[in-house]
Amino acid sequence: MLWTVVFTLPLMVAIQVVSARIGHVTRRGLAANIRTGFPRWVLYAVVGMLLAANTLNLAADIAAMAEALRLLVGGSAHVYAVTFGLLCLVLQVFLPYKRYVRWLKWLTLALLSYVGVVFTLHLDWWAIAREIFHPRLAATNDVLLMVVAVFGTTISHYLFFWQAAQEMEDSTDAAPQTPQDVRRHLRRIKADTIIGMTFSNLIAFFIILSTAATLHAAGVTNIQTSAQAAEALRPLAGDFTFVLFSLGIIGTGMLAVPVLAGSAAYAVAEAAGLQGSLSLRLDKGEGRAFYGVIAAATVGGVLLCFTPTDPVKELFWSAVINGVIAVPIMVVMMLLASRSATMGAHVIGTRLRWLGWLATAAMAATVVAMLVTL
């Protein structure tokens, strides 16, 4: 699967740049633009799919964090699930937007723990390079399911909504811009996205590699919880690797939960024609509906942690669902970004248009192939 993160990088960059451009140029989120540019059924279908997939993803992430903390310090995973859910909810509601986003950016450093896991191992990097550029794959349904899952967890629909919303948030308090200012900012968006997505896929690369070199190499292939994965690592790679992996799960979850809940809230608020922003102050009576969606999505995710479901399967199937859902949302985004009625003089250029449609076609082809081989 290592080839997938190399293949998806340019496609991922293109589609995230498109979503960021829409947010910055229009100073509205994706759902608000869909609301004005498409029939209502398109809007409700897109937002409904986003909300359902995000809630399932939230549950899997919160359950994984709770299990990882239980492994490190003992105690009840259910208590930790409720605690993590409440912590993420309180931070999003009561911490000012600019300070909260700053904390999220620093929290991404937790992802380096997966890099640390790999460098505690002794690997044949020439063999790894061969597997990247000459993978041995059969076009079976299991392989295609996994490819869709990897695509769905890198080119993810909720990230489109989140990035457009962040550009909208950043431009809300900005002074009116000249066309030159807009073009300069769009160049900054492009550079920022290339750097961010490169690091993102590097982390994905190390996650896949560390799992293959430890668990799979030892014949451990039936993992039902993150706790099982971490416990299996201890005798294979030592206590240090076990602790790194567990901390990585917690850091990743703390980063993912607010993005999942926040992107759902932006989408639902904009679809209803309500104001949606993490800068709104609940103590001043602002954004009750917006923060209500964040609360509902987070609480829904916590409640799912109490069901007898397999968290790893939840993560896997939510990634597959993300891959399927991303296709129609990408089509809608590309149409929006190409419309002068939406983007004015800043419609996307030929190169970005080709890359964006290529990303959409690649996702669609993989999903269709998966469905055909069922």
**Residue 109, pLDDT score:** 76
Say which DSSP state 175 is in. Answer: P
Say which DSSP state 140 is in. Answer: -
Largest interatomic CA distance in the chain: 60
Element containing residue 292 per DSSP (H, E): helix 288-304
Q: Determine the Cα–Cα distance for residues 40 and 35; give it in Å rounded to an integer.
A: 7
User: Closest by alpha carbon to 312, among 207, 223, 251, 212?
Assistant: 223
Q: State the average pLDDT over residues 188-198.
A: 89
User: 201-219: buried (b, 16+ CB within 10 Å) or exposed (e) per residue?
Assistant: bbbbbbbbbbbebbbeeee
Say which CATH number the domain at 40 has. 1.20.1740.10
Domain that holds residue 25: 2-372
User: pLDDT tens digits, residue range 126-150?
Assistant: 988 888 888 887 778 888 999 999 9
Q: Is the pLDDT of residue 4 over 80?
A: yes
User: Closest by alpha carbon to 295, among 316, 324, 328, 265?
Assistant: 265
Burial status of residue 172 (CB atoms within 10 A of its CB: 0-12, 13-18, 19 or more): exposed
User: Closest by alpha carbon to 198, among 10, 326, 359, 3?
Assistant: 10
Say which DSSP state 81 is in. Answer: H
User: pLDDT tens digits, residue range 206-251?
Assistant: 888 888 887 787 787 777 666 677 676 666 666 666 777 777 778 7
**Residue 163, pLDDT score:** 86
Taking all residues of the chain, what is their mean pLDDT, rounded to a whole number?
83
Q: State the average pLDDT over residues 4-9.
A: 90
- Give the alpha-carbon dihedral of 96, 98, 100, 106, to 10 degrees: -160
Task: Calculate the CA 263 to chain-centre distance.
Answer: 10
Confidence at 175, pLDDT banded by 50, 70, 90:
low
Question: For residue 241, how many other CB atoms are within 10 A of its CB?
Answer: 22
Q: What angle do CA 301, 150, 254 make, to 5 degrees?
A: 35
User: pLDDT tens digits, residue range 306-340?
Assistant: 877 777 777 788 888 888 988 988 999 899 999 88
Q: What angle do CA 349, 353, 354 make, to 5 degrees?
A: 120
**pTM for the whole thing?**
0.81
**For residue 296, which amino acid is it?**
A
Task: Calculate the CA 324 to chain-centre distance.
Answer: 14
**Residue 360, pLDDT score:** 93
Helices (H) and strands (E) in the chain, counts: 16, 0
Could you tell me if 266 and 276 are in contact, meaning their C-beta atoms sit under 8 angstroms apart? yes
Number of domains in the chain: 1
**Residue 365, pLDDT score:** 93
Q: Roughly how many angstroms between the first and final C-alpha of the chain, as a whole number?
A: 20
